[in-house]
A and B are shown apart, each in its own frame.
Chain A
């Protein structure tokens, strides 16, 4: 038995916007009966280019119907550019939550919306790059043959929902859920994706502030403390030491070295080369570290 939220049950029992729009400005259908769920969406735009009506028809389980209903409610009043930014997470948020095994229902909602936007653009002779399409690899390579899921879709859903295991991918996209022969391949894709992602994330200096002096004391403490926790303490702990933030005055950061570090002959070097260097790298070049005994 599924533990559906009240909102899922409400959208399932009283689905909003069921039906078709005969003179719709955009129509799209995703999924198919073999897979066990399918969604057809109709959008109507007003003269300002906002979605004034959205209707759906869905074949599927309670969460598929609820996700479709939520999607139509969500996009009403949006421009197509706004709608293009809607993800499966927005649908899930509106429903409270979905069981993880049912996440693919929300993903189907987002796909239908993307396809409908593409349909609109096509009708108006515009190009539209659907979010699920990798610009360098338009079609993607089919990884799961049973459900026809491509590597581009796997990467996108994994990124958007922070998924790390093949099992999670199955729950969000169905890929690997039938014969299971592609599960190893899916894991490889994920491992590759997150490795790349980590490499991209490395130079995370965008949080650096130019005018440290102008921050409030609380802001300073939060910033400095977070860098101490993330970048400084682990190395000290590795050597059996620790560090404590005592005070901040202007751009002077007062810290106390503890454990092995407190009695270490190289404490001064540690302060300059590690603590101060890291704080200058990640917070502000103006920082000066002072040791409290």
Chain B
């Protein structure tokens, strides 16, 4: 396969070679069902528990506080539905305007079911309006769900503070931490967070596995029922290989977490600094409180899909907040919530790094991208040079 410069790690990541090796036995000889009474199957259960311990260690959680799921979205839905069914006298859910569709679309569904769902607004840098949050979270609120880090801008949100606000009103606090886990240090034992969702494929484990953290003492009602797996909290035969992979990925993430803030951040910063030197560019997001791997840059007067298509000619992968890339007609809801002008929103490109990226790759992008921008601006009726 041709060399690919992969700067789209917030979309998904490569499975780490160590993760793949750890998974291999469970896709070949160790295929037993962990629930079986015989040793051949039963021995597999121990590996699931080891994976749980590794993931717990990354999060500063107890292994018993973790439930393996199929993905981040399942974890999100499980958390919110559980919170709602356990405090059914409360009819309100507080989220933010910049949540991932996993939460936003769930919010729409809950509205159809008669719940009140309110969205905390953000400012031009994508920072939450905390005063507004304080007002919105009230005694009718069952659960507050705010993402830890935003997938498009990389913005980090004050989850501990929000959790305290929720608790003050007797509400539960959930965070979609899909983008944060493995990129920023997390110690749940010291945080008032009740529930946290994560996804394997964002941290070099495979797709199709995720986890939900439920703090000890917080009641939980299962989303999927049918079997005793995960101590009755998530029925269904375990995705053993992927769970083992997630465990391994968590172990690697814990070991390498310092790299995120050094090597990965340095690569991101280099690309960002150079690209922002181009005329009519702007950074989207909050440079002070951001994931170290994400950069969202608008190239004004041109359209994101065209940029990505031309980058694709060089096997450079990134993504866009543009409407055209998805076939939707509106640019990214995150950028619109931030009030990014349309001139810039349509030409927003997200670069997201991982520890596998190199400086050569950054240099390659810096060589190829500026001519692409210039070429498209030449075609654009809005660009006046």
Other-chain residue from A18, A57, A59, A177 in contact with B303 (beta carbon distance below 8 A) = A59
Which A residues from 140 to 187 make CB contacts under 8 A with B? 147, 170, 174, 177-178
A159 to chain B, nearest CB (A): 22
Rounded to whole angstroms, the CA-CA distance of A217 and B328 in the bound complex is 53
For B337-348 the 0/1 string (1 means CB < 8 A from A) is 000001100100
Q: Which of B199-207, B266-274, B352-360, B376-384 touches A? A: B376-384
Contact with B along A1-25 (1 / 0, CB 8 A): 0000000000011010010000000
B186 in contact (CB, < 8 A) = no
Say whether B303 contacts A12, CB under 8 Å. Answer: no
Question: Residues 282-314 of chain B: 1 if any A CB is under 8 Å from the residue's CB, otherwise 0?
Answer: 000000000000000000011111100110010
Contacts of B329 in A (CB 8 A): 35-36, 147, 170, 174, 177-178
Which residues from chain B contact A174 at a C-beta distance below 8 Å?
329
A40 lies within 8 A of chain B by Cβ: yes
From A15, A59, A65, give the contact of B301 (CB < 8 A).
A59
Bound CA span A232–B306, Å: 54
Interface contact B324-A61, CB-CB below 8 Å: yes
A38 lies within 8 A of chain B by Cβ: yes
A38-B379 contact, Cβ under 8 Å, with A61-B322, A65-B306: no
Flag B72-90 by CB within 8 Å of A: 1 or 0 each.
0000000000000000000
Residues of chain B lying within 8 A (CB to CB) of residue A178: 329-330
Contacts of A12 in B (CB 8 A): 306, 309
The reply to whether B342 and A58 form a contact with Cβ atoms under 8 Å apart is no
How far is it, in angstroms, between the C-alpha of A34 and the C-alpha of B340 when the chains are bound? Answer: 11
Given A57-B381, A59-B301, A59-B302, A101–B309 Cβ distance below 8 Å?
no
| A109 CB, nearest partner CB in chain B, Å | 14
- Looking at chain A's contact residues, the main secondary structure is mixed
State which of A29, A33, A62 has its C-beta within 8 Å of the C-beta of B305: A62
Indicate whether A33 sits within 8 Å of B346 (C-beta atoms), given known contacts A59-B301, A60-B303, A170-B329.
Answer: yes
Interface code B317-339, partner A: CB below 8 Å = 1, 0 otherwise?
Answer: 00000111101111100000000
Partner among A33, A58, A60, A65 whose Cβ is within 8 Å of the Cβ of B343: A33
- Inter-subunit contact A57/B330 (CB<8 Å): no
The answer, yes or no, to whether A39 is at the interface (CB within 8 Å) is: yes
A37 vs B329: C-alpha distance in the bound complex, in angstroms? 10
B: contact size bracket:
20 to 34
Q: How far is the CA of A35 from the CA of B342 in the complex (A)?
A: 8
Residues of B within 8 A of A38 (CB): 381-382
Is there contact, CB below 8 Å, between B380 and A58?
yes
Give the chain A neighbours of B301 by CB distance below 8 A: 33, 59
Residues of the A chain whose Cβ atoms lie less than 8 Å from the Cβ of B379: 15, 18, 57-59, 65
Closest beta carbon of chain A to B346's beta carbon, Å: 5
| Residue of B305, B331, B380, B381 with most partner-chain A CB within 10 A | B381
Q: How far is the CA of A141 from the CA of B259 in the complex (A)?
A: 58
Q: A64 an interface residue at 8 Å Cβ cutoff?
A: yes
Q: Does A96 contact B (CB under 8 A)?
A: no
Cα distance A29–B380 in the bound complex, in angstroms: 12
Residues of A within 8 A of B313 (CB): 13
B306 near A62 with CB under 8 A, answer: yes
Q: In the complex, what residue of chain B is closest to A105 when comparing beta carbons?
A: B324
A147 to B324, CA, bound (A): 15
**A250 contacts the other chain (CB 8 A):** no
Please indicate the chain B residues that have their CB under 8 angstroms from the CB of A65 in the complex.
Answer: 306, 379
CB distance from B384 to the nearest CB of A (A): 11
Report if A192 contacts B (CB, 8 A): no
A259 CB within 8 Å of chain B: no
Could you tell me the distance between the alpha carbons of A39 and B382 in the complex, rounded to whole angstroms?
A: 10
In the assembly, what is the distance between CA of A101 and CA of B329, in Å?
Answer: 9
Among B53-98, those with CB < 8 Å from A are none
Nearest Cβ distance between residue A173 and chain B, in whole angstroms? 10
A135 at the interface (CB under 8 A from B): no
Closest A residue, CB atoms, query B310: A13
| Sample (9) of A-B pairs whose CB atoms are under 8 Å apart | A33-B343, A33-B346, A36-B346, A57-B379, A58-B380, A59-B381, A60-B324, A64-B303, A177-B329
